[in-house]
Amino acid sequence: TIGVYDPDRLFPFPEFDPDGEALSEWGVQGSEPGQFDAPTGLSFDANDNLHVVDSRNDRVQVFTKGGDYVRGWGESGDGPGQFRRPWGVYVDCEGSVFVADWGNSRVQKFTAEGEFVMSVGSSVDDGGDLNHPADVAVDSDGDVYVTDWGNRRVQIYDPNGDVITALYGDADDPRMS
């Protein structure tokens, strides 16, 4: 389900109890429109529509902020508009929808209506390779930032899908310092 909570309330973790605290919630487990099987990412567009990645159903679903189903797209596979365990989603300021397609090691770009535009990355070692991308974001210049989980980096592409650079780092557990 998707839960909506009061933004002015603090919910300390792990004492927070979502039962009774939600302003509203919608969705049940399943594969029909408006149902979910492992929702993993969400992003609002400029019209306050909520885009939800439904990972085990290999699709993206769009809802009004009140929870009414608007549209959805995607199916299992590796072709354009198909997914294998999509994970993250981002809607840019122009309304384009970017989906981190975890199982296909790529990020796909769609129109607001769900029409395939292009993809970036691949599992082939061509300099722009990805290994299980987990999330995606787009800056004001249209550059695409991908959290490339399997390669432990952030891969950055220009708006045409060409690699700009990659960011690497060594993370330390601050509790161990």
The structure's pTM equals 0.83
Report, in angstroms and rounded to the nearest whole number, the Rg of the chain calculated over CA atoms. Answer: 17
Q: Give residue-wise pLDDT tens across range 105-140.
A: 999 999 999 999 999 987 555 556 899 999 999 999
Q: Which amino acid is at 39?
A: P
Q: Give CA angle at 142 (140, 145), nearest 5°.
A: 95
Helix extents (H) in 11-151: none
Q: Give residue-wise pLDDT tens across range 29-51.
A: 999 999 999 999 999 999 999 99
Locus of tokens 């432990």: 152
